[in-house]
Structure 1
Amino acid sequence: MTTDTSSECYHCGLPADPQSQYHAVVLGKDRVMCCPGCEAVAEAIVDNGLEDYYQFRTEPAAQGDVNFQNTLSKLSVYDDPALQEDFVYDDGAHKEIQLTVEGITCAACGWLIEKQLARVNGISQVSVNVSERRAAVSWLPDAIQLSGILNALKKIGYTALPFQPDQHEASYQSEQKQFLKKLGLAGLMTMQVMMLMTGLYFDLFGSIERETRQYFYWVALVLTTPVVFYSGSTFYLGAIKAISARTVNMDVPVTIAVFGTYIAGLKATLLQSGEVYFESICMFIFLLLLSRYLEHRSRHRATQISANMMQYIPVTAQRLDADGNITACLAKHLLPGDKVVVKPGDTIPIDGRIIEGSSAIDEAMLTGEFEPVIKQVGATVYGGTVNQKSTLIVEVHQQLKYALVNQIIRLQSTAMANKPKAAQLADTFSRYFVVAVLFISAATYTYWYWQGNDEAFWIAIAVLVATCPCALGLATPSALTCAMARLNKQGVLLKRADALEQLTTISTIALDKTGTLTEGKFSIVQSWYLTGQDPAHLFAVAASLEARSEHPIGKAFSCNNLLTVSDFAVNIGGGISGTVSNKQWHLGSAAFTGTDAQTVPITANVFLTCEGQCLAAFEVADGLKPDTAATLALLNQYKLILLSGDTQRNVDSLAAHLPLTTATGSLTPEQKYRAVQQLQAAGEQVMMLGDGINDAPVLASADVSVAVGNANDVARNAADVVLLSDSLSAVPALLDIAARTRNKIRQNMLWAIGYNLLILPFAVSGLLLPWMAVIGMSLSSIIVVSNSTRLLK
């Protein structure tokens, strides 16, 4: 065994005394450590058979905890059940938590954490998101405690704490800043190197001495190096992650192309022989970074959500004790059996059962339907809904974290975790393409070397450069970037670019009703007045009564000629009554007004009676958006399925005016979710359009989900595509651009592969010089980008 005499800590890279008492054997060598924390971390990594981490990593780890043992003992505080109430979810057999993990520096860290925790007895599932520095962990509470999980992470150098939602936006901002720094550097250096090298290639500087030319090469090398090692690091980390997972993605050929051309140029500069092509490296990295940045920005704009995803979950409650006293408390502290007082206008703090009072409850945040639901004694109410009319006393059924609104959010997370993801077509091609190019380059070098050709190395480099997957690497991102730019102009934001590919496979479109197909407000669809009566007067009577009502239906009766109303009364769930012009009037349902709906020649749901006689009837409904019918007519090649939480009667009434395949009403959020799951199980590719928190689970489970412009933040977060406008007219355009984008990607890839097959014989035979290969490679990339820009037209 050899000893490492380095003056830096092998684990974290900080200065360390070569005579330090802290050592660990890593990769067959005795390594110097700077502190007991780093020593403990390194030993834990080695003891668990995970020392490959030190080979995979691209940056030093964070320094271990100097007070390592004290820190481990302090973690036991997280085992306190009271402390876990806020961030641990108990599903019975398992417990789940989201952790913020400090110290993650690269993809290898995610690999290390997953491998380490997978070895810990009692941990059922681990998923690490490297970019967001988060880990989702599920464990058996009988086998291990939360402190044991945090200890296991601490032993390999990572500090983990319960995830705080407000860090989500900060993570996006940090990533965006990194993109801008790398993109700015690549763009600046690309301009400089392009001007310098173009002048050399075409001898724009005139006849210059060899020493001066070599000086320019060194300048280009200096300018290119930070682009390669800093700006291009995004691709290398992705490639390392893919390779460590024993797979290949698009970052692998990009990495090979960059380092292949860079090393070839470096060698040419050092040997003062041959051409260099640093400008191609800079341009390649700049274009790829630009497309990824635009994709990242579009995704960020589409997920402009509040820092707290639990904004719909109540915070406080008014608890009623056994002596009749009312005290304020946190809703999360309520236990089953507690009683709470909910006054008119207050948010119901928790799921429970009404034991006193009756009222109209606004459940729009759960059902998506704005019409209040009448609740009597014994009825179930849900946390987050709003009491509109009368004071209620509610008996608590279960703790807040098990409330329906929390179940919806957890169901959304589960659906997003199981979302099917189509692989990029380019990934499939590049997996074989890269191997083939490397094999051919190696074979070419071997052949010319045994032939005694002094240019064997450069011929092999020419093969690698000429067939460098620059065009293949740009084939997909350039098309996606142009497609997203075109969609952005039409008010459509994509949160994930591969949704465009999945849109081309859609066979069924599922739609929510209220707020998606309809305007989200009541209007009078049709009306009937008894012959011989003055319609204007009757409507003024109805509008005068509704003006005194707080029911949303009242907004449909708008009139500037209101009459005086006296003896006004409200019958919850029935209608309203009052005296107008010395006559007693009733306005409401057929049962409330005593009307036989069959005697009215229209399909009505609001009736106006005077002293027992029906004088007018109205069909009041949430009207369709102006372009709904025309938009659905353009989508007639798909199965159109309506999934709504509204009553079946209202759904049938709406469906009669639209080209729908089926229309189902009275669905809960979970029933919508199951309906889409059944369609997918039957082989259908489903796109879902919705707007409410109740649509979040089904949006997350669909193959592609679309949130309309008036959608709330939860629905936007669950969706893959966000429409900035309330109109659905952008949906046909979205599907059309998706189809065109797929065709452009295929054309680009066919050209990229065709070009490589065409140029390969010339490169292998030695007829193609390196500078010719650079021009060919650049021209191929330009053709691909130019073809993609046609999507902007």
Structure 2
Amino acid sequence: MSINIAEDCCFHCGLPNEDAQKYQVVINDVPHAMCCPGCQAVAQAIVDNGLVNYYEFRTEPAARGDSALSNTMAQLSVYDEPDLQEEFVFDQGKHKQIQLTVEGITCAACGWLIEKQLAKLKGIKQVSVNVSARRALISWQPDQIKLSEILSRLKSIGYESLPFQPDTHEASYKKEHKAFLKKLGLAGIMTMQVMMLAMGQYFDIFGNIDDDAISYFNAVSLLLTTPVVLYSGSIFYISALKAVQAKTVNMDVPVTIAIVATYIAGVLAVNKNTGEVYFESICMFVFFLLISRFLEHRSRHRASLISSNMLKLIPITANRLENSIWKSVLAKQLIKGDMVIVKPGESVPVDGYITEGKSLFDESMLTGEFEPVTKSVGDKVYAGSLNQQGSIIVKVSASVKHAMMNQILRLQENALANKPKVAAVADKLSRFFVIIVLAVAIATYLFWYYQGSEHAFWITISVLVATCPCALGLATPSALTCAMAKLNQLGILLKRADALEQITGISDIVFDKTGTLTKGEFSIQKTWLNESFSNELCDTFGLPHTTNEQLVMHLASIIEMRSEHPIAKAFVDANQKLGPLSLSQKKWQALKDINVTNLNIEIGKGVSSNIYHYQCHIGSKKFIQEKLDRVLQIDDITALKGANVIFAMGNQVLAGFWVTDTLADDVTETLKQLKAFKTTILSGDTQANAEIIAKQLGINNVIGDSSPAQKLDYVNNMQKINAKTLMLGDGINDAPVLAAADVSIAVGNASDLAKNAADVVLLNPKLNMLSHLINLAFATKRKIKQNIAWALGYNILVIPFAVLGLLTPWQAALGMSLSSIIVVYNSTRLMR
């Protein structure tokens, strides 16, 4: 007969239950309260396995569930607090995203294991592990799963994780670094001692050694080898155990089998005083493998340090204006609209706009360009940039969490989440290779055993050691991480890693003209006025006819200033050069405050608005013809030939403007380096203006007068004939075509819309970064192919020697470790 449990006690263990609603399990269709997650987990397991009768026939309460689980969940639940998540969790509509520092990652197989295990959880949208940086990028649905549950799942499979922060991440690295050095140092010292004893026996250095002395030396070798196996080699066993628990295999499985089997065989041989011992091979194997893992660990940190150090440039504190007093506060407490002062020699604490002052700024951490940039009132400054001269006051435009530098690092993590095809192939190949290695090892043992060879066991150990595919697992991630680090140094932001792979297959490079091939610094070289109409406007506004040009330019500028197109600034500047109209202060103020209504900006075409009773349009010739009530053949106005901006009011053309741009400083040299590709100018400017630029640059394929839709159609048509296109642009009108191109690049000071649509952002405004990007893409592909070829080639080459018994275990260990070291070293050459 079952015992009775009081209502205020845990139904499982019978202990007092303080929160009866928090942990519940439905048993026989009745909800029962549990006191902790441990009891809840055990009770749920009993129910799930069809053992609910236990609760009907038990005679005493069960032991309380694992208190460690309760403590763990209590500690992790703090990360579900909204105030704490505000610092490191990013909202993405229905999903949330976090970047974690994950301890215990030793190889590519660890990343694969974490991704597969977390992907099984309900509510997980995306999991991507960057093995090189020891970070995980996770997106989840908060209504289906909590962050604490994700962290708990990681802990349950053996990986400690915390929200990524540069300081804690660095501390985590140093902790692992010290552990590596301890394990490596112990293995190195013991290997030397064991090798000395083994060499003495092999080469008879000590003279004639009797059996008792040999037994003594073997016993000493066992004593010296034991800490190497139990401590130094523990990193491999833990990794293998995690994989086996997840019902899979990784590269450390054959390593663990080889070490443990050889050690146990040695222990038996010493105790029975018969058979061979290979303690020196065990020590050398662990030592060499730890060396390769340590070098990989250090190179990964070197590559990820570049990104982590960017965040360290953001100061911890800032001086905020509070009640007319500058007060020191934490930078992460700043919100949009706050005013902060940045003194000479200080770093800007947050993104914002200068409201007072002028200074030089070092933005090399973003652009890779060390030449200072002059900025004044109205210009944007970025967190982490160094103020080199005068004091400035900045109005905060985004919190530290959403600063440009943080966004860059988040985008890079997203980029590594999108693994290129070659990376996916290499990951699958390495896992299949482990299975093949185990199968070959079993077959080798059976063959030599039935041949009656006394060395069957040791030949099998050599096979396991020699063919461990560690190098294959490192081939792709090591190269990609080093490539990303190099791009960071150059001021190139890669938003998806597979873009590097796609760049190597492009055939056509398509350039937008304005702001890409040219500086985007426009000026009005010539103006044509419809004198009769402009004089009529002067009469309307009560102005003398001599001011008609000033009036027209003023009207054009107050419309254009509402547009983000680079050409708009030319009208504002021209209006300022002409100076104010000769009017009374009252009249001039009324004209400056003129009411502009019904503003409509058509991207890539022009701007429409109403001024008083006039409907105004300013833009391309095609745009004006579309907007006027009657069909107007602007080409019939001889004086307008070559004008690329037309201004119309009502149904009449009021003015025409010849707006010109200048070539970017390095564009000619850059195009010389891109001769292997077919180049095209695809511009919204007039065909005549586009051809002028093309002629200067030696580009034969020129398409002007293109609307955003026409640009998109052009790229789509290119793709239909299997041409792989790379598109460069900077404006809002380029966003659709950037999104459609095989690879898209936002250049220089591109609009936010263009940056969002692009696969790559050149933070450095110099166009020669394009040739650096393309060269690095090809170099990365070569490195990955070289790494895979070397890893596969070595393993395929060494298998026959190992199977035939021509390799001793220590020789196999040396060869396998050197293979991994060569792959890592080859990848780090990308950073030079």
| TM-score interval for Structure 1 and Structure 2 normalised by the shorter chain | 0.5 to 0.7
Per-residue CA distance 1:689-726 (angstroms, 9 max, x = gap): 45679988987776655454546888778766554421
Match of 2:777 among 734, 738, 743: 738
* Aligned positions of 1:192-591 closer than 5 A: 193-194=187-188, 197=191, 201=195, 222=227, 229=234, 252-253=250-251, 255-256=252-253, 258-264=255-261, 266-267=263-264, 270=267, 273-274=277-278, 275-276=281-282, 277-297=285-305, 421-424=420-423, 425-480=425-480, 483-484=483-484, 487=487, 490-492=490-492, 494=494, 498-509=498-509, 515-520=515-520, 522-524=521-523, 526=525, 552-553=569-570, 566-567=582-583
Cα offset, 1:454, TM superposition: 3.5
Aligned amino acid, residue 451 of structure 1: Q
Distance 1:433 1:556 in 2: 66
3-state DSSP of counterpart to 1:620: strand
Distance 1:116 1:729 in 2: 46
Aligned amino acid, residue 599 of structure 1: A
Distance 2:756 2:255 in 1: 36
Cα offset, 1:175, TM superposition: 4.9
> For residues 153 and 732 of structure 1, do their structure 2 counterparts lie closer, same or farther at Cα, with a shift above 3 Å needed?
closer
Conserved 8 A contact 2:102-2:136? no
What residue number does 1:182 align with? 176
3-state DSSP of counterpart to 2:685: helix
Distance 1:675 1:606 in 2: 26
Gaps of 5+ in 1: 1-16, 26-32, 52-58, 79-85, 91-95, 119-124, 139-145, 160-166, 317-344, 346-363, 366-385, 387-411, 531-537, 575-587, 608-613
What residue number does 1:649 align with? 685
Distance 1:507 1:217 in 2: 63
What residue number does 1:37 align with? 37
Aligned amino acid, residue 778 of structure 2: A
Distance 1:737 1:418 in 2: 20
3-state DSSP of counterpart to 1:519: coil
Aligned residues: 587
What residue number does 1:81 align with? none
3-state DSSP of counterpart to 2:522: strand
Superposed CA RMSD:
6.6
What residue number does 1:326 align with? none
What residue number does 1:584 align with? none
Conserved 8 A contact 2:467-2:795? yes
> For residues 181 and 653 of structure 1, do their structure 2 counterparts lie closer, same or farther at Cα, with a shift above 3 Å needed?
farther
Distance 1:279 1:190 in 2: 6
Per-residue CA distance 1:185-240 (angstroms, 9 max, x = gap): 3255435534653575478998799767866776666467566545997x769967
> For residues 478 and 38 of structure 1, do their structure 2 counterparts lie closer, same or farther at Cα, with a shift above 3 Å needed?
closer
Conserved 8 A contact 1:265-1:278? no
* Aligned positions of 1:708-727 closer than 5 A: 708=747, 710=749, 721-727=760-766
What residue number does 2:96 align with? 98
What residue number does 2:6 align with? none
In the alignment, does 2:794 pair up with 1:755?
A: yes
Conserved 8 A contact 1:41-1:155? no
Conserved 8 A contact 2:474-2:824? yes
Per-residue CA distance 1:610-661 (angstroms, 9 max, x = gap): xxxx9x99633454422235434543544657778xxx33688347524466
Cα offset, 1:755, TM superposition: 2.5
Distance 1:653 1:623 in 2: 11
Aligned amino acid, residue 286 of structure 1: F
Conserved 8 A contact 1:641-1:663? no
> For residues 595 and 749 of structure 1, do their structure 2 counterparts lie closer, same or farther at Cα, with a shift above 3 Å needed?
closer
Cα offset, 1:283, TM superposition: 1.7
Conserved 8 A contact 2:467-2:799? yes
Distance 1:621 1:474 in 2: 52
Per-residue CA distance 1:400-437 (angstroms, 9 max, x = gap): xxxxxxxxxxxx99x99997842414335424432322
Aligned amino acid, residue 440 of structure 2: I
Aligned amino acid, residue 430 of structure 2: S
Conserved 8 A contact 1:262-1:281? no
Cα offset, 1:727, TM superposition: 1.0
3-state DSSP of counterpart to 2:570: helix
> For residues 173 and 752 of structure 1, do their structure 2 counterparts lie closer, same or farther at Cα, with a shift above 3 Å needed?
same
Cα offset, 1:761, TM superposition: 2.0
Distance 1:791 1:417 in 2: 17
Per-residue CA distance 1:323-382 (angstroms, 9 max, x = gap): xxxxxxxxxxxxxxxxxxxxxx9xxxxxxxxxxxxxxxxxx99xxxxxxxxxxxxxxxxx
Aligned amino acid, residue 736 of structure 1: N
Cα offset, 1:495, TM superposition: 6.0
Which of 1 and 2 has greater Rg? 2
3-state DSSP of counterpart to 1:619: strand
Conserved 8 A contact 1:527-1:602? no
Aligned amino acid, residue 501 of structure 2: E
Distance 2:774 2:179 in 1: 36
Conserved 8 A contact 1:466-1:759? yes
Cα offset, 1:553, TM superposition: 2.1
Distance 1:496 1:623 in 2: 32
Per-residue CA distance 1:523-579 (angstroms, 9 max, x = gap): 33755899xxxxxxx9xx99xx99x988532675699x99896336557889xxxxx
What residue number does 1:137 align with? 141
What residue number does 2:341 align with? none
Cα offset, 1:182, TM superposition: 2.4
Cα offset, 1:181, TM superposition: 3.1
Cα offset, 1:462, TM superposition: 0.4
What residue number does 1:14 align with? none
In the alignment, does 2:156 pair up with 1:117?
A: no
In the alignment, does 2:639 pair up with 1:599?
A: yes
Cα offset, 1:35, TM superposition: 4.1
3-state DSSP of counterpart to 2:421: coil
> For residues 603 and 304 of structure 1, do their structure 2 counterparts lie closer, same or farther at Cα, with a shift above 3 Å needed?
farther
> For residues 421 and 726 of structure 1, do their structure 2 counterparts lie closer, same or farther at Cα, with a shift above 3 Å needed?
same
Distance 1:423 1:688 in 2: 24
Conserved 8 A contact 1:303-1:716? no
Conserved 8 A contact 2:682-2:711? yes
Distance 1:158 1:289 in 2: 25
Conserved 8 A contact 1:41-1:156? no
3-state DSSP of counterpart to 2:766: coil
> For residues 601 and 257 of structure 1, do their structure 2 counterparts lie closer, same or farther at Cα, with a shift above 3 Å needed?
same
3-state DSSP of counterpart to 2:693: coil
Cα offset, 1:743, TM superposition: 2.4
What residue number does 2:813 align with? 774
Conserved 8 A contact 2:101-2:164? no
> For residues 482 and 528 of structure 1, do their structure 2 counterparts lie closer, same or farther at Cα, with a shift above 3 Å needed?
same
Conserved 8 A contact 1:465-1:774? yes
Per-residue CA distance 1:123-175 (angstroms, 9 max, x = gap): xx85456865754339xxxxxxx5xx46999899889xxxxxxx998467655
Conserved 8 A contact 1:687-1:704? yes
Cα offset, 1:770, TM superposition: 0.8
Aligned amino acid, residue 286 of structure 2: F
Distance 2:74 2:821 in 1: 54
3-state DSSP of counterpart to 2:519: strand
> For residues 674 and 289 of structure 1, do their structure 2 counterparts lie closer, same or farther at Cα, with a shift above 3 Å needed?
farther
Cα offset, 1:461, TM superposition: 1.1
3-state DSSP of counterpart to 2:806: coil
